[in-house]
Amino acid sequence: MTISPDNIVLWSWGPVSLNGTLLYSWIVMLLLVGNSWLITRPLSSSTSISRWQTLLEVLIIGVRDQIQEVSHQKPGRYLPFIGTLFLFIGTSNLLTIVPGFIPPTSSLSTTTALAICVFLAVPLYGITYEGPLNYLKHYTRPTLLMLPFNIIGEISRTVALAVRLYGNIMSGTVIVAILISLTPFFFPIVMQLLGLLTGMIQAYIFAILAMVYIASATSAHHREANGLPEKEQATSNETQERS
Amino acid sequence: MENFSLIGMISIITAGLTIAIGSIGPAIGEGRAVAQALTAIAQQPDEAGTITRTLFVGLAMVESTAIYCFVVSMILIFANPFWDYTVSQAGG
């Protein structure tokens, strides 16, 4: 019983070894890159477009809208990073239903790498958007006393991001493996359906949380300056009156 | 061989207790969160999208605590370092 695809060594040559995680992540990457390349060759803006182009357009527009709603900023700057996170995690979690495919996200190495990408992207976006001084001032909000707690929070939320994705996907695969040995054929399929649902939700949540962290580093004082949009203010007033 | 039985026994009992106790809190919390979200959607169906998205993000946050417990119990059963150490000591 292997708990992670890291332990599946498929091929080793001296110090270099190819384990399951590497192979499966490369498969996912090749799928994404190859398909995107194939689909974007015959792009057209005419009235009759291919189904695949429609699929890509739906995906891109969906991700753009979500980024817009979460961050209240123009989505173009964040679209490549967030969209890549979502597509990679989503694809690798979708492919769990292929027999013999172990999702690379069920290994702590992959999820840690993704979380570190987010951890590095937050200050990068923050500093390019506001300058280093303003970005560093975020850590002293609301007072200077909160500085250590903000730093601890920054690290712990990264760890949580990695372990959340890893735990969800790993638990799905492990539960299915255990059930197949106990009650074959029907019950594991139900759990796999549940695993598909949680996998897609986890991909969505990973991308949204990355966006939330980046947005909090880039737009905190903008929102304070502009205040809420009128609609939100009205609803918040209503809820206050109700309660 | 007393070490084997002791480590195995304690690991299994702890793994069961971890997942049992550790899932109570998140379950209650998520139930409350979903109930509140349903109330909010019933009051303002127009805002269903925003409420649902925020609910999912919040549920993921709450769920992660239960997931930590699950990971710990899995490590205790399948990848227990103390167990591996005693096995290697006995074998070597």
Helices and strands, number each (H, E), in chain A: 9, 2
A222 pLDDT tier (thresholds 50, 70, 90): low
B59 pLDDT tier (thresholds 50, 70, 90): confident
Distance between B64 CA and the closest CA of chain A, angstroms: 5
For the stretch A154-182, pLDDT in tens is: 898 898 899 889 988 988 888 888 888 88
CB A205 within 8 A of CB A161: no
Question: Is the pLDDT higher at A42 or at A119?
Answer: A119
- B2-91 homologous superfamily: F1F0 ATP synthase subunit C (1.20.20.10)
Q: Which residues pair with A104 in a beta bridge?
A: none
Query: Residue A187: is its pLDDT beyond 70?
Result: yes
Among candidate residues A139, A88, A146, the one with its CA nearest the CA of residue A118: A88
Distance between B67 CA and the closest CA of chain A, angstroms: 6
Structure confidence at residue A1 (pLDDT) = 55
Cα of first residue to Cα of last residue in chain B, in angstroms, is 14
For the stretch A65-100, pLDDT in tens is: 999 988 888 899 999 999 999 999 999 999 988 888
Q: Do B57 and A174 touch (CB under 8 A)?
A: no
Q: Is the peptide bond before B45 cis (omega within 30 degrees of 0)?
A: no
Per-residue tokens: A14: 């001296």
Share of chain A above pLDDT 70, in %: 89
The dihedral through the CA atoms of A150, A154, A159, A162 has a sign that is: positive
CA angle A52, A54, A58 (to 5 degrees): 120
Which residue matches tokens 């730093």?
A151
Per-residue tokens: A110: 């992959």
For the stretch A98-128, pLDDT in tens is: 888 889 999 989 999 999 999 999 999 999 9
Domain ranges of chain B: 2-91
**Does A8 touch chain B if contact means CB atoms closer than 8 Å?**
no
Most confident segment among A178-187, A220-229, B10-19, B73-82: B10-19
Q: Do B67 and A164 touch (CB under 8 A)?
A: yes
Query: Residue A194: is its pLDDT beyond 50?
Result: yes
CB A50 within 8 A of CB A41: no
Structure confidence at residue A8 (pLDDT) = 80
Task: Using DSSP bridges, classify how beta strands A9-13 and A16-19 pair: parallel, antiparallel or unpaired.
Answer: antiparallel
CA distance A130 to A86: 26
**Does B84 touch chain A if contact means CB atoms closer than 8 Å?**
no
Domain ranges of chain A: 108-220
Using a CB-CB distance cutoff of 8 angstroms, which residues of chain A are in contact with residue B57? Answer: 205, 208-209, 212
Among candidate residues A110, A90, A92, A114, the one with its CA nearest the CA of residue A101: A92
Share of chain A above pLDDT 90, in %: 37
Task: Tell me which chain B residue has its CA closest to the CA of residue A198.
Answer: B60
CB B68 within 8 A of CB A163: yes
Structure confidence at residue A233 (pLDDT) = 46
Cβ neighbours, 10 Å, residue B53: 16
Specify the range with the lowest mean pLDDT, choosing from A134-143, A177-186, A222-231, B32-41: A222-231
CA distance A105 to A24: 9
Question: Is the pLDDT higher at A206 or at B92?
Answer: A206
Q: Which residues pair with A58 in a beta bridge?
A: none
CA distance B89 to B86: 5
**Nearest Cβ partner for B57 among A168, A208, A235:** A208
Question: Is the pLDDT higher at B34 or at A236?
Answer: B34
pTM recorded for the entire structure: 0.81
* Residue partners of A83: CB distance under 8 A and separation at least 6: A59, A60, A63, A207
